[in-house]
Homo-oligomer: A and B are copies of this chain.
Amino acid sequence: MDQTPSIVESRPRGGRAARQRQRAAGPTAVIAGAERQMPAYEILGEAGLSQIESHADRILREIGLEFRDDPEALRLWREAGCDVRGERVRFEPGQLRHILRTAPAVFTQHARNPARSLTIGGNSVVFAPAYGSPFVSDLARGRRYGTLVDFENFVKLAYAIPWLHHSGGTSCEPVDIPVNKRHLDMVAAHLRYSDKPFMGSVTSESRAEESIEMARIAFGADFVDRHCVILGNVNVNSPLVWDGTMTKALRAYARANQCAVVVPFILGGAMGPVTNAGALAQSLAETMAGCALTQLVRPGAPVIFGNFLSSMALRSGAPTFGTPEPALGSLIVGQLARRLRLPLRCSGAFTASKIADAQAMSESVMSMMAAVQCGANFILHSAGWLEGGLVMGYEKFMLDADFCGALHTWLKGVTLDENQFAMDAFHEVGPGKHFFGCAHTLANYEHAFWDSETADNNSFEQWRDAGSLSATQRAGLRVTKLLESYERPRIDASVDEALLDFVARRKSETPDQWY
């Protein structure tokens, strides 16, 4: 069993574990990840997958990747026997796979509250909020720049909603805080307003290090050195470029035995070819390289194989999201990740819509279905995403989170046992009668079906008399209620103080930067 950090009560064990865990959780229910209890959707056979892999190998050998502004990364590749010329690194087929053998197929991201620690990999599915929007929006105030208050609101909402297992990272950019100090407030908010696992900064090596340093304050330095407690989401500068900013952040996480999430961002026709097969091969090449780099830094460090495919509007060249091509791509990426035995991050609730309307949910649900069906283990952007990621939407957050709840039911699949087959009920009811009051229904009713928080299933008249609200309006009311009833999770007073002290000290040491 993992060592338990000192600030939280010991992990409940034994028969009453569930009840104890519930009690330990404080105001919100504990769902420590979902488990996919059915096969992933596999649409390609061995031949097709090998073809994609061999094209990735060709890209890696014939063209290679550039690693810019990071001599240490080049040194590591050279030491590993790769062909390094200037900043261009070329790889022999199989070379990256060989390096990746030390990466764990499954690991635990520990939460400040151990009951919320998450398995990353295998059949585990983790839903995390959207990440990185400069703007926020809601029905009442419209679209505007995000602030620290907004950021903290989304941390609180993710804490309050059981279907989101993870606090996420940059839920929105708090643009009222200087660029070089935001990460301090953001990490502090994740640690102080939630006890779910979270993500740190990657926008510079020192910000990554400071994020990890704050995790050490909360979890203890020894614990952090031996356990994953923080993720950093690093992007490839596709096509085929790794920027030093990203590799330095990646190396900081790996060095500290923390998890880098390695994600090429490929908008087909811009940062990659306009055809899916080529984009998939490129994505595989870019991700394998980033994941392998973590293993050169610290063999055995946790790493997540990430993926972000998108398409383009043919009439305008604008990026599109939640479309069928990336959904198909996700299904194949899932197969590729499993062949590498790496945990997978996949697409979330993507949409190009500006508001939480029919387009938003149509696109988001297609994308989310692909993410869970492909076997993704860590689904970033599971809630809130609008406008191609430029906006974090309050109502969208609630609608998406509710859909994550539906996916918990979906992931369970269908149970086949005597109770589920209900032969007694058929005998009791017989032809032409109804099952409402039969013993089997009464015994199973309470947990029989997914029960949405935002859907309206009432009659037209009931719905009209309640104000003819749209789902988006209902979601907005639910957001208000959750924020009003929010209660902070317990935190040791000395840890809380140490975090605030760290933030204040670091902020005072450097002048503000606003861009």
Q: How far is the CA of A354 from the CA of B359 in the complex (A)?
A: 17
Q: How far is the CA of A433 from the CA of B239 in the complex (A)?
A: 7
Task: From known contacts A358-B360, A421-B278, A429-B239, infer whether A435 and B325 are also in contact, taking CB-CB under 8 Å.
Answer: no
Which of the residues B319, B358, B459, B475 comes within 8 Å of A356, measured between beta carbons?
Answer: B358
Q: Does A81 contact B (CB under 8 A)?
A: no
The stretch of A44-52, A477-485, A490-498 in contact with B is A44-52
Question: Does the CB pair B471–A414 fall under 8 Å?
Answer: no
Say whether chain A's binding surface is mostly helix, strand, loop, or mixed.
Answer: mixed
Given contacts A281-B421, A318-B459, A328-B413, 18 further A-B contacts (CB under 8 A): A38-B43, A143-B460, A239-B432, A240-B431, A273-B425, A274-B448, A276-B415, A277-B422, A278-B423, A314-B445, A324-B406, A352-B456, A355-B468, A358-B358, A358-B475, A361-B361, A362-B364, A366-B406
- A359 partner residues in chain B, CB cutoff 8 A: 361, 399, 454-456, 470-471
Q: Does A419 contact B (CB under 8 A)?
A: yes
- A88 partner residues in chain B, CB cutoff 8 A: 431
Question: Does the CB pair A451–B315 fall under 8 Å?
Answer: yes
Q: Does A255 contact B (CB under 8 A)?
A: no
Which of the residues B48, B66, B399, B419 comes within 8 Å of A362, measured between beta carbons?
Answer: B399
Which A positions have Cβ atoms within 8 angstroms of B?
A: 38-39, 41-44, 48, 51-52, 55, 58-59, 62-66, 88, 143, 237, 239-241, 268-278, 280-282, 311-320, 323-325, 327-329, 332, 352-366, 369, 373, 387, 390-391, 399, 403, 406-407, 409-410, 413-417, 419-423, 425-427, 429-436, 440-441, 444-446, 448-452, 454-460, 463-464, 468, 470-472, 475
Which of the residues B48, B239, B320 comes within 8 Å of A431, measured between beta carbons?
Answer: B239
5 interchain residue pairs of minimum CB distance: A278-B422, A359-B471, A273-B422, A277-B420, A240-B431
Question: Does the CB pair B431–A65 fall under 8 Å?
Answer: yes
Question: Does the CB pair A269–B239 fall under 8 Å?
Answer: no
Distance (Å) between the CB of A329 and the closest chain B CB? 7
Q: How far is the CA of A273 from the CA of B442 in the complex (A)?
A: 10
Q: How far is the CA of A354 from the CA of B312 in the complex (A)?
A: 32
Q: How far is the CA of A324 from the CA of B77 in the complex (A)?
A: 47
Task: From known contacts A366-B369, A415-B277, A457-B316, infer whether A358 and B423 are also in contact, taking CB-CB under 8 Å.
Answer: no
- A407 partner residues in chain B, CB cutoff 8 A: 324
Q: How many copies does the complex hold?
A: 2
Question: Can you name the residue of chain B whose Cβ is closest to the Cβ of A321?
Answer: B457
Question: Does the CB pair A354–B450 fall under 8 Å?
Answer: no
Distance (Å) between the CB of A508 and the closest chain B CB? 37
Q: How far is the CA of A395 from the CA of B110 in the complex (A)?
A: 47
Which of the residues B409, B432, B463 comes within 8 Å of A241, measured between beta carbons?
Answer: B432
Distance (Å) between the CB of A265 and the closest chain B CB? 13
Question: Does the CB pair B445–A274 fall under 8 Å?
Answer: yes
Question: Does the CB pair B460–A354 fall under 8 Å?
Answer: yes
Task: From known contacts A273-B426, A318-B458, A432-B237, infer whether A41 and B41 are also in contact, taking CB-CB under 8 Å.
Answer: yes
- Could you say which of A41, A275, A278, A459 has the most chain B C-beta atoms within 10 Å of its C-beta? A275
Question: Can you name the residue of chain B whose Cβ is closest to the Cβ of A51?
Answer: B416
Jot down 10 A-B pairs with beta carbons below 8 A, ordered by A.
Answer: A62-B423, A275-B440, A282-B426, A318-B459, A324-B406, A329-B414, A356-B358, A359-B456, A360-B471, A362-B403
Question: Does the CB pair B449–A312 fall under 8 Å?
Answer: yes
Question: Does the CB pair B414–A277 fall under 8 Å?
Answer: yes
Question: Does the CB pair A318–B457 fall under 8 Å?
Answer: yes
Distance (Å) between the CB of A287 and the closest chain B CB? 15
Question: Can you name the residue of chain B whose Cβ is closest to the Cβ of A59?
Answer: B426
Question: Does the CB pair B423–A58 fall under 8 Å?
Answer: yes
Question: Does the CB pair A441–B276 fall under 8 Å?
Answer: no
Distance (Å) between the CB of A43 and the closest chain B CB? 4
